[in-house]
Structure 1
Amino acid sequence: MTQPEPAERAAIQDYDVVIGGASLAGCAAAILLARRGARVALLERRSDPEAYKVLCTHSITAGAHPVLAELGLLPALEKAGAVPNKARWHTRWGWIEPWGAETDARLPYGYNVRRSTLDPLIRARAAQTPGVDLLLGHQVTGLLREGAGGDARTVGVRVSTRDGGERELRARLVVGADGKDSAVAKFAGVPAKPYENGRFGYLAHFRNLPLRDGISHAWFLEPDMAYAFPNDDGVTVVAVLPDKKRLPAFREDLEGSFLDFVRALPEAPPVDSAERVTKIIGTVDYPLHSRRPTAPGLAFVGDAALTADPLWGVGCGWALQSAQWLAEAVGPAAAGRGDLDKALAVYARRHGRRLRGHQFLAADFATARPFNPVERLMFSAAARDTAVARHMHLFASRLIGPTRFLSPVAVAKASVVNLRHRRAARGQRAARASSSAA
């Protein structure tokens, strides 16, 4: 075989794509790009292949179900005991119940699965994918750049290796999949736009914690929030997300405050009779943020592109979906068969179109304000009508966007439901008054 000349060897890329971060978004992007012909270096700063994210809702929204199917993970998740994330939500108007015998077969769902199960599973799948080199113990320490100023282009990364060495990897595309505090973004000078979160959050895992119908529960307490998600291996994640005004008192006795908060929930899960299998962990400040999902030679997926409010449990799903959108947009170009800049522009447009509206509403609600008039209309109607409850499930699962959720038809339907409810309530009051008078 003829060896290339030195000048030709210098032009050869080490990889087509280098991905910083081998969690959900990074692994999914590596698998899907490699299947489209790209040679991928998947870097993970941690050396343990079983490492996983601890602070998480441990839930994958139904919108990401097609990605799990494309990755071939559905049989493995079912075998691992992942729980379909059907849910009911408590409001001041009662429970919103989208699930029932007549709807179970038609409504799509995602999965609740602990990251200790999910992360090693998808990382192993990435490592087994032809074209992917999983490099554990490799941390991005800088970017390789060509050009200057606004014309600068990322052409690779500098990394520290698990044996203490340093290495440079060149690539057509560098992907930041390294979370909300993305080092790749920092080195590239791509800032994040923050949105204040008016709530703090703590969670713990319990074993043998029964929930009605065995499905997820969420409590909209205005402004406080809570949820209980059943997961694999009989473990349920219970989280509380109170208004930050309650933080000083909460901190005085974290365990007591956490348990008292859960005990006071309507139809509270019986935490006192369950076995708590983890510490109570959480964060007092978790701002939302978003950043441009692309730059020359660079893309961001998962939390590196957009970090949502954890109370909605959308982070895992959006990590998987953004990886799929990136692979679909740039796959051929990343492998050298197209214009990469045009492909990145396609990804950026799709990312914004699919997530910008959701993030806008989430950032507004994260101020810990009460429900606004439109939310009161939709939530109250959903508590009174199964069809509106199913519509809300589609939005909460991120299967439809805000425009469709609040379409004139949907708002009109909710208005009719509430009008009928008020008429029925007036009729009942009149009947009671007549009975009392008699």
Structure 2
Amino acid sequence: MSREAARNHETIVVGAGLAGSLTAVYLARRGFRVRVLERRGDPRAPGAKEEGRSINLGLSQRGIVALREVGLLERLAPLTVPMRGRVVHLPDGTLRFQPYGLAEDQILHSILRHDLNVALVDEAERLGVEFSWGQRVTAVDRTKPAVTTDDQAVHTADLVVGADGAFSAVRTHLGRGLRMDLHQEFLEWGYKELLIPVGDDGEPRTELRALHVWPGDEGLIVAHPNADGSLTATVFLPFEGEHGFAGLTEAGRVREFFARRFPDTLTLIPDVVEQFLAHPPASLVTVRTAPWHVTTDDGRGVVLIGDAAHAVYPFFGQGMNAAFEDCSVLNRCLATHPHDLPQALAAFEDSRRPHTDVLAELSKRNFVELRDKLRSPLFTVRKKVDLALHRLLPNAWVPLYTLIAHTTVPYGEALARARRQDRLLGGVTAALTGAALAGLTHRLQAKGR
């Protein structure tokens, strides 16, 4: 949608998180008059950073492209830490490094959610976006469309964007009276955050330029580096059982569990027990819904974006990146259909929803990989073979992780390509195994003669 066509479009964005703030930036750049409603307070207020609790972020190619499109990538660079691979912490205290890729740019960039959110809000305000904090949505009228907040104010707009997260109020109200599908699934594991502080000498306690992973079937820890030399660790455990959150409520049991399962954390996090017991666990949810948008006869509409449309488990590191890619794709659809908002919203959903459904399955599958397979020598060998083939055939053979994290190939196409490669590798492996067995049989027969 051109700036001229957008000039008279009033837009309400519900949610000032990452997806909502970036959507507001894109729309303001396109000429929309944008107001953002957020139930929480301003993240820039004193103490707001300490009040938040969220899994740290790994910025990958899809998010990088979106931030570059709105001119924010270079400005955010000082707030990020490059992660060139995984450092796997094994129970015996040894460390194993697994690179993400071969090329110099095949890395992730760790950034604190709060810092990224503040930068996006600042940029949106610079572009003229109005933010209203402490505004909870209590109703959505899709026939106008309009949004009602808890102060009984009614906000009418040409476009309403629901960017209010996995438990979206916009999605809930939008679905009333519609044949709307909704699949919501909670993982049997939850999470808590811990801080790995800098050492007494002011230096990082462990390798900073990597994602740190402590795998295990009883628990999983993932730690992202921060620009100040600390790391933010997320502890994933089952909710139930003696080794789950329900059973780890006393200091002695917590210390014994970490000493047995994650022994080096006792050194890396001197107050690990106190931190662990300080907060309740949070839940992990995946959401799929359809439709994502509704339009009126006079060309107005409501659309869902980010977690409101497709929340996923965090184990592929794509939740934020997929949401940012939503913003980029929606912007392109508005540009392609400059005078037809309903067509733009339909094109957006058609181009995104099949692929985010695939991402939901990939994210669930990668939970098993992080938890169980990283310790396996066979898994490590397979990853090395994948990278070796990628080095030999950089365009013909690309590992699934590389396709997801380091390209913008749509998720469904990435999975289809990886499956073709898996079948080929399986066939080659079977052929090599058969040849080796045939050779062994021939040698044994020769000896027998």
Which residue in the other structure is 1:174 paired with?
160
Distance 1:413 1:341, change over 3 A: same
Q: How far apart, in 1, do the equivalents of 2:320 and 2:72 lie?
A: 14
2:126 equivalent among 125, 128, 132: 128
Per-residue CA deviations over 1:109-129 (Å, capped at 9, x if unaligned) read: 342111232221211111111
Q: Look up the match of 1:429.
A: none
Equivalences for residues 16-31 of structure 1 within 5 A: 16-31=10-25
Shift of 1:411: 4.4
2:324 corresponds to:
320
By how many angstroms is 1:203 displaced? 2.2
1:96–1:383 CA contact under 8 A, matched in 2: no
Note if 1:394 corresponds to 2:402.
Answer: yes
Q: Residue by residue, what CA displacement relative to the aligned partner does 1:88-124 show, whole Å, maximum 9, x if unpaired?
A: 26499x9572258xx35242x3421112322212111
Question: CA 1:361/1:422 → structure 2, altered by over 3 Å: closer, same or farther?
Answer: farther
Distance 1:354 1:260, change over 3 A: farther
Q: Cα gap change, 1:99/1:403 in structure 2, threshold over 3 Å: closer, same or farther? A: closer
Q: How does 1:76-87 map to 2 (within 5 A)?
A: 76-80=75-79, 82-87=80-85
- 3-state DSSP class of the match of 2:166? coil
Residues 301 and 319, structure 1, Cα contact 8 Å, conserved in 2: yes
Residue 194 of structure 2 contacts residue 235 of structure 2 at CA under 8 Å; is this kept in 1? no
1:241 CA drift (Å): 2.0
Show CA shifts across 1:199-252 (max 9, x none). 222221221253347311234435743212112222211122234554665433
| Secondary structure of residue in 2 paired with 1:175 | strand
Structure 2 counterparts to residues 246-325 of structure 1, below 5 A: 246=241, 249-254=244-249, 263-264=259-260, 270-274=265-269, 279-280=275-276, 281=279, 283=281, 285-292=283-290, 293-296=292-295, 297-325=301-329
AA aligned to 1:207 is P
Equivalent residue, structure 2, for 1:36:
30
Deviation, 1:422, is: 12
TM-score (norm. length: structure 2): 0.73
Distance in 2 between residues matched to 1:237 and 1:157, nearest whole Å: 37
SS at match of 1:242: strand
Give yes or no for contact 2:195–2:269 (8 Å, CA) kept in 1.
no
Q: Is the 8 A contact 2:192 2:236 kept in 1?
A: yes
SS of the equivalent of 2:345 reads helix
Shift of 1:183: 0.8
Per the alignment, residue 183 of structure 2 pairs with: 193
* RMSD across aligned positions (CA): 3.9
Structure 2 counterpart of 1:30, one-letter code: A
CA contact (8 A) 2:38 2:133 kept: yes
Matched, 1:202 2:199: no
- Other-structure match for 1:73: 72
Aligned 8 A contact 1:206 1:235 in 2: yes
Instruction: State the one-letter code of the partner of 2:304.
Output: F
Deviations 1:393-416 (A, max 9, x none): 414527353425524235434775
| Alignment check: 8 A CA contact 2:25 2:120 kept | no
Q: Write the distance in 2 (CA, Å) between the matches of 1:392 and 1:115.
A: 26
CA distance 1:396–1:298, change in 2 (3 Å): same
Which residue type is aligned with residue 64 of structure 1? G
Query: 1:320 aligns to what SS in structure 2?
Result: helix
Whether the aligned pair in 1 keeps the contact of 2:55 and 2:234 (CA below 8 Å) is no
Structure 1: segments with no counterpart, 5+ residues: 1-12, 147-153, 425-438
Contact 1:377–1:415 (Cα < 8 Å) also in 2? no
- Aligned partner of 1:105 in structure 2 is 104
TM-score (norm 1): 0.75
Partner of 2:230: 235
Aligned AA for 1:65?
I
Alignment partner of 1:178: what SS? coil
Q: 1:213 to 1:91 in 2, by over 3 A?
A: closer
Distance 1:407 1:96, change over 3 A: farther
Instruction: Report the more deviating stretch, 273-282 or 118-127.
Output: 273-282
1:138 aligns with 2:138: no
What percent identity do the matched residue pairs reach?
Answer: 22
Match of 1:330 in 2: 334
